[in-house]
């Protein structure tokens, strides 16, 4: 689905990663088609957030807006953040098509995660009731810094939801970047969180069905981390 995300769903080797980290790459990718993603919210977001009371949410790597729109339709006040202005414009148009009441609950913001975690372009500390990052894959050091910034944005009692491609997907026929350091397990993310400040609600690798580039049905695993900041 979405993402400011760095490694998308095409096969790229390590030499391609630098290009994929740029705004230009994502602007060009979104311009290449009327729609890049399905238009449906990420299933793990739906699974993990359905029971949460609406509040303020940060959707990191908001892409064409499906997750942000799904949250706003359920009463959340959402900030959708992405590297691509093309994606953000498309997302805003789609939100308006769904309904002005929903569009009014979403603020769209352009940001580059490669500088976001180490610059003044930070999410306000302890502001959000939900911070969601779905399938955002970055170089290991940058990814850890971004995860720290995301965690810092969650207010007490709020939820941090990070979902990514599990390392086992490297052995699947799905089109994945063959760069192992960009994959992670939920336990690895959980280990980055201070246990005195966070309760781990879910740290799992659930399976789901998917279709590979050749049209075959395959089972893949997601790394799913759901943690609540202690009050």
- What HEC string does 17-76 produce? HHHHCCHHHHHHHHHCCCCCCCCCCCHHHHHHHCCCCCCEEEEECCCCCHHHHHHHHCCC
Per-residue pLDDT tens digits for 88-134: 999 999 999 999 999 999 999 998 877 765 444 456 666 999 999 99
Q: Please state the rounded mean pLDDT for residues 130-155.
A: 90
pLDDT digits (tens, 9 = 90+) for 43-84: 999 999 999 999 999 999 999 999 999 999 999 999 999 999
CB 159 within 8 A of CB 227: yes
In this structure, is the dihedral angle defined by the CA atoms of residues 94, 70, 81 and 138, taken in order, positive or negative?
A: negative
Reference 103, options 113, 93, 117, 112; nearest CA is 93
User: What pTM value is reported for the model?
Assistant: 0.86
Name which of 167, 137, 179 is nearest 11 in CA terms. Answer: 179
Distance of alpha carbon 5 from alpha carbon 190, whole angstroms = 20
Which three-class secondary structure state does DSSP give residue 171?
A: helix
pLDDT of 185 > 60? The answer is yes
Q: Quote the tokens at residue 139.
A: 């170089």
d(CA 150, CA 137): 14
Angle at 109 between CA 139 and CA 105, to 5 degrees: 125
Residue with more model confidence, 31 or 132: 132
Q: How confident is the model at residue 7 (pLDDT cuts 50, 70, 90)?
A: very low
Residue 202's DSSP bridge partners are 226
């Amino acid at each position: 689905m979405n993402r400011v995300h760095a490694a998308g769903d095409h096969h790229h080797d390590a030499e391609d990663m630098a290009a994929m980290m740029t705004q230009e790459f994502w602007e060009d990718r979104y311009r290449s088609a009327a729609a890049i993603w399905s238009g449906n919210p990420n299933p793990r977001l739906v699974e993990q957030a359905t029971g949460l009371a609406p509040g303020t949410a940060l959707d990191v790597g908001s892409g064409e807006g499906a997750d942000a729109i799904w949250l706003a339709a359920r009463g959340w006040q959402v900030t959708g953040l992405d590297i691509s202005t093309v994606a953000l414009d498309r997302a805003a148009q789609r939100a308006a098509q769904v309904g002005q009441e929903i569009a009014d609950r979403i603020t769209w913001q352009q940001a580059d995660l490669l500088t976001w975690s180490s610059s003044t372009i930070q999410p306000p500390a302890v502001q959000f009731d939900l911070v969601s990052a779905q399938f955002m894959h970055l170089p290991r050091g940058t990814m850890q810094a971004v995860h720290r910034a995301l965690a810092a944005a969650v207010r007490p009692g709020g939820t941090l939801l990070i979902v990514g491609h599990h390392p086992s997907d490297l052995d699947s026929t799905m089109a994945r970047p063959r760069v192992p350091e960009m994959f992670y397990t939920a336990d690895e993310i959980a280990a980055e969180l201070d246990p005195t400040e966070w309760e781990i609600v879910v740290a799992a690798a659930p399976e789901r069905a998917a279709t590979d580039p050749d049209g075959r049905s395959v089972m893949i695993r997601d790394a799913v981390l759901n943690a609540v900041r202690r009050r």
